[in-house]
Amino acid sequence: MATNIGFIGLGNMGGPMAANLVKAGHKVSGFDLSEAALAALEAAGGSRAESVADLAEGADVIVTMLPAGAHVRKIYQGEGGILDNARPGTLLIDSSTIDVDSARVVAAAAAGKDMPMVDAPVSGGVGGATAGTLTFMVGGPENAFAAAKPFLDIMGKTIVHAGDAGTGQAAKICNNMILGISMIGVSEAFVLAERLGLDPQKLFDISSTASGQCWALTSYCPVPGPLPSSPANRDYQPGFAAEMMLKDLKLAQDAAHSSGAGTPLGAQAAALYSLFCNSGGEGVDFSGIVKYLRGTS
Ligand code: NAD
């Protein structure tokens, strides 16, 4: 059955996610600050809303895919925002990657208006958004998760209920902290191997079947050669840009500070990605940090 879906934030990720909801037969009305993004939704078969309030009034389900926590708080809780204009019972799905505290504050405000809400950040990038194969990490009450699942199934392949409000965001930043740290570890090993005269292919062959094995090595090898699909073979074009990794590592550090968790390697990884981004690496794939590390001897 066609559902009236409002989609706010039709950028690199939100655009193709909204298009997949249209393809599945839903009536999608979109809002974005970008004229090009709105035109792309119309071309895909959706319609444009004139404002957040206009979109919220007519929607049964609202999905948001915005840059950061400040945008999400404003769009939900600000004047003319979702919570003041949507009907009680409207299902709210925020798929932006944002700080855990904002996710929990907005979810509590939504609960106060009888609007079930999940935080549902994704991994899988623009390729996964286009193909409808994203992984969703979902935080929120069981009833909100159950209501959101049929829509997440259209946009993604793996949908995991992580726990209460905010735990989707927690899963996302914990996972990406592992990834950032392990990418630096793998990159440092290749830099050291180069200095020691060890062929990178040999290090790959040995470590990929030994205790150094990890995703950063065997699915996303940061040096050209061993793994033809990795961005290292196309001059580190993203993929997953270093500035996005830095955003997630900073979110992890914010959460570590506010929760009192000790994450010294997470802090170091954030500092190294910050240096890499400031030296011109922002738009480079995050595995390109190997080039920065080579230069730090
Ligand atoms: P993007 O910048 O391409 O899209 C964000 C969109 O939000 C833009 O079109 C912008 O115009 C719109 N927007 C901003 N403020 C708005 C407002 N007040 N009202 C309406 N629209 C507004 O970003 P993206 O790459 O699509 O990423 C979106 C989110 O997904 C981010 O939180 C990001 O961290 C996360 N994410 C991105 C990727 C990726 O590979 N790009 C992967 C996983 C998660």
Centroid of ligand 1 to alpha carbon of 12 (angstroms) = 7
Q: Which residue among 110, 144, 164 closes a domain?
A: 164
Tokens of 148: 């959101």
| For range 135-152, the mean pLDDT | 98
145 and 37 assigned to the same domain: yes
**Does residue 162 surpass a pLDDT of 80?**
yes
Quote the CA–CA distance of 171 and 177 in Å, as a whole number: 10
Q: Which residue among 129, 164, 199 closes a domain?
A: 164
User: Which mutation among 35, 66, 136 tests ligand 1's pocket best, with the greatest number of atoms within 8 A of CB?
Assistant: 66
21 and 67 assigned to the same domain: yes
**Does residue 297 surpass a pLDDT of 80?**
no
Query: How many residues are present in the chain?
Result: 297
From residue 199, alpha-carbon distances to 145, 202, 224, 228 in Å are 49, 5, 12, 17
Centroid of ligand 1 to alpha carbon of 16 (angstroms) = 12
> How many domains, the chain?
2
**Mean pLDDT of the residues in the chain:** 97
142 and 216 assigned to the same domain: no
pLDDT at position 247 is: 97
Tokens of 267: 């802090």
73 and 220 assigned to the same domain: no
pLDDT more than 70, % of the chain: 100
Residue 247 contacts residue 97 (beta carbons within 8 Å): yes
Name the pTM for this structure: 0.94
Which residues have C-beta atoms less than 6 Å from ligand 1? 8-14, 31-34, 37, 65-67, 71, 75, 96-97, 122-123, 125-126, 240, 244, 247
From residue 279, alpha-carbon distances to 131, 224, 289 in Å are 33, 21, 11
pLDDT at position 296 is: 85
197 and 63 assigned to the same domain: no
Residue 192 contacts residue 294 (beta carbons within 8 Å): no
Q: Which residue among 118, 146, 164 closes a domain?
A: 164
Contacts 24+ apart (CB under 8 A), 230-234: 230/287, 231/285, 231/287, 231/288, 232/285, 232/287, 232/288, 232/290
User: Chain-centre distance of CA 185, in angstroms?
Assistant: 22
